[in-house]
Structure 1
Amino acid sequence: MHTRTVAVLGYNGAQVIDATGPAEVFAIANELAGGRLYRVVLASVDGRDVVGASGLRLGVELPLGDIADTVGPLDTVVVPGTYRWTVAAGQTGLLDALRGAAASSRRVAAVCAGAFLLGRIGLLDGRRATTHWMLLDELAERFPATKVERGPIFVADGAVFTSAGVTAGIDLALALVEADHGPVLARQVARFMVVFMQRPGGQRQFSVRLRSEITKPVLRGLLDAISADPAGDHRLSALSSRAGFSERHLSRLFARELGTTPARYVEQVRVEAARALLETSDAPLDVIARLSGLSSAETLRRSFTRDAGVTPHAYRQRFRSTGATTG
């Protein structure tokens, strides 16, 4: 059985889960397949241990440049991201080591802000790529020769793979396992890890409430009340009465603070509630629609598809394929 060597790049300040998440995917694939499909090596520029962004120390096995001579030919290089990606992207030694490893490996996979390191060594030029949703504009601005994809959890373009933030590195690693050994093994790994094979909806699936930055305490309380009871009476008149504002002023407040209307915000919260019910129950769509405040199965389908990018039925279909394609 051919063993593929996977080098995870370790450096100070890297997000630990960006490194350990993919490593666990490969390790579990080994266990479930009953053989050594992958040999995972944590390597740094100089072979010294590194300290991740969380403060955890990671034990490095050897210098990145020594892997080919010590372990064997490199198959895959995994590049974790970091909160301090501007610092990492300016470290010449780190970039030189990554450039050399990338040139001698079959493929390179960056998690989260690791995409910026690939961009700095020219690997994203003329390619499609993605990164954490908060950094998409920055990636597009810094690397204009890259076509930045804003929806996918991960993007495969030839031998270069990039993914969205943090736990998306697990999705990416599952795609690599599928590409190497087929969807059956990748599905088994996903089931073992209790994750999606292909997360529905891409980067559009983040919490409505969490992505709302509110400065007005009254509005914050109103939004919390909507989230706590999505099926409640949240017509503009009812919201206005609870907030103590005129309907016109409340609409202006929503536009300024949230960039949307009260009705649209309520709909987004209801779709999020429906998503949770789809994930945790086998209830029919009309029941889910009623419980989430979307009134009917047809309204649920229409609103859910607009917000999540997939139908409610498709959202329920988990553990199939990662959806990975190369080229």
Structure 2
Amino acid sequence: MPTIAFVVFDGFHVMALAAQPVFSFANRKYGQPFYDTLTLSENGAPVQPVDGPAVMTEPFGNQTFDTVIFAGGDPTDVPSSRGLLEFVRHSASTARRVASICTGAFVLGEAGLLDGRRVTTHWIYARALSKRYPEARVEADRIYVIDGPVWTSAGMTAGIDLALAMVEADLGTDLARAVAQTLVVSHRRAGGQSQHSALLEIDAKSDRIQSALTYAKKHLAQSLSVEQLAEVARLSPRQFSRAFRAETGQSPAKAVERLRLEAARLMLERSRHSVEQIAQQTGFADSRRMREAFTRAFGQPPQAIRRNGRAAVA
């Protein structure tokens, strides 16, 4: 029976354990026990998460497991005890799969497991992960990434997607879909799906600013000057700029660039248009400017985004 071991430590985020029921419901849908799950820590004592009551755990011991999943915590204070890092490396050499949820990728990185591998984490911490472990190939906008035996996922709820992908790999698409329906998840998200939408994240409070954002998304190929957007919002350019920053926390130009980046990234992954064509259709004017914007935002040029997106689909 495959054992799924979740590894936690003081200060971990308890939402990482939201992936555990995926395996329990897989057992029910399978009709008999297939997975065994347990929660581990270095010493086996109750472990205090950052956002909930203490969690009972078992010690590492000398056991081996089919799959070991490491929870995330504060990436500025990555746990690096000798016992934990030895267990990470031991798991990498004995388990079929080693995985991380959210900033758990930093734990894998601390043990040297990310070198040369495609990985992801919560988009907020992707740059920090890349800077701290420069040998890792961080893909900042993925729900989860599978590179051989190492699986990494984005923010907390992405751990559910990761677990569903494991169930699908083990027991098939139909059973994974049934588990997703039971958990009131419409269906598992593909690993290459964007972690977030720029339009949803830019939180406009008034109809006028929201109408300008909607207009911008529909007309990305145009110049989209402040004057043009202000006219849509029926405000003067000065009033519009002030109101836009007050509501969204950023300038109109920055918001438009983010909308263009998202549109261009989706076209790279889903279409056969050339980089130059995509740059023109999304308002970057030319491929050089789009490449510079992609490197600033994602740490990768458009060609790498396209290559990684196609690899994820494959």
TM over 0.5: yes
Find the counterpart in structure 2 of residue 13 from structure 1: 11
**Structure 1's 123 and 306: CA in aligned 2 closer, same or farther, altered over 3 A?**
closer
Letter matched to residue 245 of structure 1:
R
Q: Does 1:135 align with 2:125?
A: yes
C-alpha contact 1:65 1:97 (8 A) present in aligned 2 = no
Q: CA deviation at 1:150?
A: 2.2
Find the counterpart in structure 1 of residue 196 from structure 2: 205
Higher relative contact order (CA 8 A, sep 6+): 1
Q: CA deviation at 1:100?
A: 2.5
Looking at structure 1, the residues matched to 247 and 50 of structure 2 have their Cα atoms a distance apart, in angstroms, of 36
Three-state SS of the structure 1 residue aligned to 2:44 is coil
Find the counterpart in structure 2 of residue 89 from structure 1: 79
Q: Does 1:226 align with 2:213?
A: no
Three-state SS of the structure 2 residue aligned to 1:74 is coil
Letter matched to residue 250 of structure 2:
E
**Structure 1's 254 and 92: CA in aligned 2 closer, same or farther, altered over 3 A?**
same
Q: What are the within-5 Å matches in structure 2 for residues 114-153 of structure 1?
A: 114-153=104-143
Task: Count the aligned residue pairs.
Answer: 263
Looking at structure 2, the residues matched to 31 and 224 of structure 1 have their Cα atoms a distance apart, in angstroms, of 50
User: Of 64, 67, 76, which residue of structure 1 is paired with 2:67?
Assistant: 76
Find the counterpart in structure 2 of residue 277 from structure 1: none
Letter matched to residue 43 of structure 1:
L
Find the counterpart in structure 1 of residue 233 from structure 2: 239
User: Of 42, 47, 51, which residue of structure 2 is paired with 1:50?
Assistant: 47
**Structure 1's 247 and 24: CA in aligned 2 closer, same or farther, altered over 3 A?**
closer
Three-state SS of the structure 2 residue aligned to 1:117 is helix
User: Of 108, 112, 116, which residue of structure 1 is paired with 2:98?
Assistant: 108
Looking at structure 1, the residues matched to 208 and 49 of structure 2 have their Cα atoms a distance apart, in angstroms, of 34
C-alpha contact 2:115 2:133 (8 A) present in aligned 1 = yes
User: Of 60, 66, 83, which residue of structure 2 is paired with 1:64?
Assistant: 60
Find the counterpart in structure 1 of residue 250 from structure 2: 257
- Render the CA deviation track for 1:51-110: whole Å, top value 9, x for unaligned: 1121321111x21124x2xxxx4100010111x233233333322233223332111010
**Structure 1's 86 and 99: CA in aligned 2 closer, same or farther, altered over 3 A?**
farther
C-alpha contact 1:156 1:326 (8 A) present in aligned 2 = no
Three-state SS of the structure 2 residue aligned to 1:58 is coil
Looking at structure 2, the residues matched to 77 and 149 of structure 1 have their Cα atoms a distance apart, in angstroms, of 22
Looking at structure 1, the residues matched to 192 and 208 of structure 2 have their Cα atoms a distance apart, in angstroms, of 24
Looking at structure 2, the residues matched to 168 and 255 of structure 1 have their Cα atoms a distance apart, in angstroms, of 26
Looking at structure 2, the residues matched to 63 and 224 of structure 1 have their Cα atoms a distance apart, in angstroms, of 57
Looking at structure 2, the residues matched to 80 and 247 of structure 1 have their Cα atoms a distance apart, in angstroms, of 43
**Structure 1's 236 and 163: CA in aligned 2 closer, same or farther, altered over 3 A?**
same
Three-state SS of the structure 1 residue aligned to 2:68 is strand
Letter matched to residue 50 of structure 2:
A
Looking at structure 2, the residues matched to 109 and 98 of structure 1 have their Cα atoms a distance apart, in angstroms, of 10
Three-state SS of the structure 2 residue aligned to 1:6 is strand
TM-score normalised to the size of structure 1? Answer: 0.68
Letter matched to residue 76 of structure 1:
T
C-alpha contact 1:9 1:79 (8 A) present in aligned 2 = yes
**Structure 1's 201 and 7: CA in aligned 2 closer, same or farther, altered over 3 A?**
closer
Find the counterpart in structure 2 of residue 35 from structure 1: 32
Q: CA deviation at 1:204?
A: 4.6
Looking at structure 1, the residues matched to 313 and 8 of structure 2 have their Cα atoms a distance apart, in angstroms, of 26
Looking at structure 2, the residues matched to 183 and 168 of structure 1 have their Cα atoms a distance apart, in angstroms, of 18
Gap regions ≥5 residues in structure 2: 216-227, 272-309
Q: CA deviation at 1:190?
A: 1.0
**Structure 1's 225 and 30: CA in aligned 2 closer, same or farther, altered over 3 A?**
same
Looking at structure 2, the residues matched to 173 and 148 of structure 1 have their Cα atoms a distance apart, in angstroms, of 20
Looking at structure 1, the residues matched to 245 and 45 of structure 2 have their Cα atoms a distance apart, in angstroms, of 55
Q: Does 1:172 align with 2:162?
A: yes
Letter matched to residue 16 of structure 1:
V
Three-state SS of the structure 2 residue aligned to 1:98 is helix
Find the counterpart in structure 1 of residue 225 from structure 2: none
- Render the CA deviation track for 1:194-253: whole Å, top value 9, x for unaligned: 2231258723534635456xxxxxxx654785179968xx95314252x67267888999
TM-score normalised to the size of structure 2? Answer: 0.70
**Structure 1's 191 and 258: CA in aligned 2 closer, same or farther, altered over 3 A?**
farther
Three-state SS of the structure 2 residue aligned to 1:57 is coil
C-alpha contact 1:251 1:261 (8 A) present in aligned 2 = no
C-alpha contact 2:13 2:51 (8 A) present in aligned 1 = yes
**Structure 1's 170 and 247: CA in aligned 2 closer, same or farther, altered over 3 A?**
closer
